[in-house]
Amino acid sequence: MSTLARERQVLRPSQLNALARDLLEGSFPQVWVEGEISNFSRPASGHAYFTLKDARAQVRCALFRSNAARLRFAPRDGMLVLARGRLTLYEARGDYQLVLEHLEEAGEGALRRAFEELKARLAAEGLFDTSRKRPLPAFVRRLAVVTSPRGAAVRDVLSVLARRFPLLEVDVLPVPVQGEGAAAQILDMLRRAAGSGRYDLVLLTRGGGSLEDLWAFNDEALARAIAASPVPVVAAVGHEVDVSLADFAADLRAPTPSAAAELVVPDRAELAERLRRDRQRFEALLARGLGARAQRLDQAFLKLQALRPQLRLERGRHRLDALRHRLEQGWRTPATGRSERLARALRRLDQSHPRRRLEALSHRLGLARRGLDAMPSRLLEPRRLQLRGLARALEGVSPLATLGRGYAIVFDASGQVLRRAADARAGDSLRTRLADGELRVRVEPRED
């Protein structure tokens, strides 16, 4: 090595590039760069290489396969993008470049940062808490759909609702869903729908799009109005991967407009099946209840049949008829022994139709007779006198004694006692009972 070389610090290109790389990476740990894509390429390795440029300069960029796979859009030449990465130097060629970790379309990055900041602030206030969310009605009668009347979302929603539950009343409340002034109009329509008292539920929906397209649904005033709505709100903004502040504030977030329609109404086939099962359970319960009551009724009827009150009454009537017949036969027999037979008939009659006086007299007469049999002869005379008194008393209430005093009992042709003259008609044949026998008489016309 020459003396001049020893006096100077001489670096090889590789050493210089290494020092430059260390300097770049130490000074620029991570940067955001906005520019236009040019010379985009994506070889079989899956990595993406392109240049970001503006009107005055350009910088090479590399997006390795793992990060490139997470892209939500397809980069192309001429697209304005926002890139985040670390600045380094490719030592082999001495070119410095950006090794990217994130890539998005230009404009969305700033919106995303604003979205995250507002979301964090509202969440800290408790606006998105699960505890404040209300359950949806079990059966929605009227539904307000706040959306664009010309978008695909409204067609999907109406199609699903008509298929699942055609009885639902649906009002489409038209609003613009993106662009300047859209958030204010959505907010106004939501307040009018919730304050009308007409709707059981409000569905806030639109189709998918970029963060910028969905920005109207990230309005702070709209999010607060959704949380304060007196009517439950379902939000279905964009596709499943899209989220908005309206989704977080709503009582229920659906991944798509079609899914929202599925969630807010029951399926008519499932509802019909549930009604069928409920009807079967009701009929089974009714049948068991009626069966139990019918069984109790049968048991009560069998008990009633066992008691047979009608049969007992019929037997009593037959017994009364028999006693009455024997009494009539006693009237027709000679006077000898009549009192004794009459007393026995009266006792039987009194057992079916009690008469207190006859019962007492008959009882006393029986006691007297039993007493006579047991008494000595010297004591018989007073008892005999007492017995005669009882016999006279019994004879006094006997109907035969009444007949002996000149009265008569008149029977019609059927054997029934005739109590009123009006019950007999001219020409009737009657039977008249006297003390010593019967007479057959015929009713003559009255002579006025």
**Of 398, 424, 439, the domain-final residue:** 398
Residue indicated by tokens 């017995």:
387
CA dist., res. 136 & res. 176, Å (int) = 26
How many domains does the chain divide into? 5
The answer to whether position 306 is within a domain reads no
Whether 368 and 439 share a structural domain: no
Q: What is the pLDDT of residue 353?
A: 44
The answer to whether position 392 is within a domain reads yes
Average pLDDT value for residue range 330-349: 55
Q: What are the Cα distances from residue 118, in Å, to 111, 124, 148, 195?
A: 11, 10, 25, 27
Whether 296 and 328 share a structural domain: no
User: For all residues of the chain together, what is the average pLDDT?
Assistant: 80
> Are the C-beta atoms of residues 211 and 115 closer than 8 Å to each other?
yes
Whether 327 and 293 share a structural domain: no
Each residue of 206-245: pLDDT tens digit? 988 888 888 899 999 999 999 999 999 999 998 887 889 9
Whether the predicted pLDDT of 352 surpasses 50: no
Q: Can you state the angle between helices 338-352 and 356-374, rounded to 10 degrees?
A: 130
The encoded tokens of residue 244 equal 């908005």
Domain that holds residue 417: 408-448
Whether 189 and 216 share a structural domain: yes
Each residue of 278-336: pLDDT tens digit? 888 888 888 888 888 888 888 887 777 666 666 666 777 777 777 777 766 655 555 44
Whether 249 and 131 share a structural domain: yes
Whether 257 and 279 share a structural domain: no
Is the backbone of residue 113 left (phi > 0), alpha (psi -120 to 50) or beta? alpha
DSSP string, 337-398: THHHHHHHHHHHHHHHS--HHHHHHHHHHHHHHHHHHHS-GGGHHHHHHHHHHHHHHHHHT-
The encoded tokens of residue 306 equal 């066992």
The encoded tokens of residue 384 equal 């005999």
User: Structure pTM?
Assistant: 0.46
The answer to whether position 114 is within a domain reads no
Average pLDDT value for residue range 154-162: 91
Q: Can you state the angle between helices 380-396 and 356-374, rounded to 10 degrees?
A: 160
Nearest 5°: CA angle at 71, between 70 and 72? 115
Q: What is the pLDDT of residue 432?
A: 84
Pick the residue with more confidence: 408 or 356? 408
Whether the predicted pLDDT of 146 surpasses 90: yes
Average pLDDT value for residue range 141-151: 92
